Amino acid sequence: MTEAPPPHAALIVLDGLGDRPHPDTGGQSPVEAARTPHLDRLAAAGRMGQVTLIGAGVAPESDAGVLALLGYDPVRDSPGRGVLEAVGVGLDLAPGDVALRLNFATGDGAGAILDSRVGRSLGTEEAKELARSLTEADLLAPEGIEAEVRATVGHRGVLFLHPTRDGRLSPEISNADPFYERVGGMGRARSVADPRVLAVEALDPTPEAARTAAAVNAFLARAGDLLAGHPVNARRAMRGRRIANALLVRNAGTVPAVPLPPLPARLGLAAVAAVTEMPVERGIARLLGLVDLFVGPMGPDRDASLRERAEATRQALDRFPLVYVHLKGPDEPGHDGKALLKREVVEALDRAFFGPFLDGLDLSRVRIAVTADHATPCVLRGHSDDPVPLLLAGAGVPAASPPSGKFGETAAARGPLGALRGADVLGLLVPRTPGPAA
């Protein structure tokens, strides 16, 4: 008798979903306060637990959380956030090049950071205009380095450094962004009472690291002078908006000497697909050998964008044995401390993504995991090391007895799946538990 093929599976990651009780949402977390009938029904049909992405005391960035969920060690395996962002926007890095994640920010002109995201009002086209000016200014020509700024989405971007003389650069440098610190290749969020742009320092004694750190410091200083008088900022000031007069860079990286082992091969699967919205997750997908089904950032009609993502996920689930899906929504209101908005975003995800995605889906033939890459509690306005909910349902997953309650942190903490690590999740979805990255 021929064995039935293993079910197709989807790992759905809701960026920054995890949260804590908040007074604006009646003492519940924004997730638990949200109306989520579709997720609640899915929870009733399956089992819940909670996931500590990396370890106690580690508040991961998104890339670290995703790498952990996909079975890699972020400290050892990550080439750096800058590289992941660069790959996600199609920049080709050669050995000796360095890439850093970049934020346009608002400063007071003396090093203090007034807003690390320019009030979330910097348009992508404005950022691209600023980036073009910074690139065309060739600010590191005296150092023998080409410096390109590539704007991505909103306040986000990449700083790409290519040496034109004097040998290679080194990624072994610290962050200028005070809100994140490096731990190996991984970025870890940190709380800062008086945020100021940090001087970049070499993390090893090599001349290459010293040269790279000095070049980044020079670039940031020269960029501040250029940005202060830029027409984009003049127009923003006239409209009473925060100006993008500072840059925050972090998590420098270079192309790994040995490519990361492809995820499909590690899992024994023919292919794995990725439905992603942002460059960093697209970069992860490309580096890990996933089929790139990039859908781009949300459009102005949130529900329409979510329905498009639901359709893309259903189509991918028909074609591929495993689909990784990343939806950005909950993270931003968490960073901004807006619990009511986070509740609204979770409700939109349930209504416009999970509703269409689950409509007519035969759960006896597929397996679904819903979780997060990290928690972003509104009371903290940043990432934390809190465990995040995990919901597992579908083929081969018996319903909990008694059934899981309302989707959220409380049901997850009490769920029969128990307390897991990020690296455990794929083993629940695919028949072969992933081994350590080579």
Instruction: Report the CATH architecture of 8-79+258-429.
Output: 3-Layer(aba) Sandwich (3.40)
The predicted model gives 61-74 an average pLDDT of 95
- Where are the domains positioned within the chain? 8-79+258-429, 83-253
User: Is the pLDDT confidence value at 431 over 80?
Assistant: no
Q: Whole-angstrom Cα distance, residue 67 to residue 181? A: 17
pLDDT tens, residue by residue, 175-215: 999 999 988 888 888 888 889 999 999 999 999 999 999 99
Average pLDDT, the chain: 94
What pLDDT is recorded for position 37? 97
Which pTM value belongs to this model? Answer: 0.92
What pLDDT is recorded for position 436? 43
User: Is the pLDDT confidence value at 68 over 70?
Assistant: yes
Q: Whole-angstrom Cα distance, residue 348 to residue 38? A: 11
3-class secondary structure, 130: helix
pLDDT tens, residue by residue, 124-171: 999 999 999 999 999 999 999 999 999 999 999 999 999 999 999 999
pLDDT tens, residue by residue, 312-347: 999 999 999 999 999 999 999 999 999 999 999 999
User: Is the pLDDT confidence value at 438 over 60?
Assistant: no
Number of CB atoms found within 10 A of residue 174's CB = 18
Number of CB atoms found within 10 A of residue 23's CB = 10
Written as one string, the DSSP assignment of 186-226 is EEEE---SS-BPPPP-BSSS-HHHHHHHHHHHHHHHHHHHH
Q: Whole-angstrom Cα distance, residue 378 to residue 18? A: 10
User: Is the pLDDT confidence value at 433 over 80?
Assistant: no
pLDDT tens, residue by residue, 346-404: 999 999 999 999 999 999 999 999 999 999 999 999 999 999 999 999 999 999 988 88
The predicted model gives 56-83 an average pLDDT of 93
**Token digits for 344?**
């609204």
Residue 390: name the closest of 404, 371, 413 by CA. 371
Q: Whole-angstrom Cα distance, residue 131 to residue 122? A: 12
Share of the chain above pLDDT 70, in %: 97
**What's the number of CA atoms in the CB half-sphere (13 Å) around residue 204?**
9
Residue 263: name the closest of 390, 147, 437 by CA. 437
Listed range (15-19, 45-49, 56-60) with the worst mean pLDDT: 56-60
Beta-sheet pairing, 291-292 with 418-421: unpaired
What pLDDT is recorded for position 3? 54
The pair phi, psi for residue 427, each rounded to 5°, is -65, -20
3-class secondary structure, 73: coil
User: Is the pLDDT confidence value at 233 over 90?
Assistant: yes
What pLDDT is recorded for position 432? 58
What pLDDT is recorded for position 4? 60
Q: Whole-angstrom Cα distance, residue 212 to residue 210? A: 6
**Token digits for 425?**
């999740």
CA separation, residue 305 to residues 42, 290, 295, 312 (Å): 22, 22, 9, 11
What pLDDT is recorded for position 5? 67
What pLDDT is recorded for position 30? 98
What pLDDT is recorded for position 404? 84
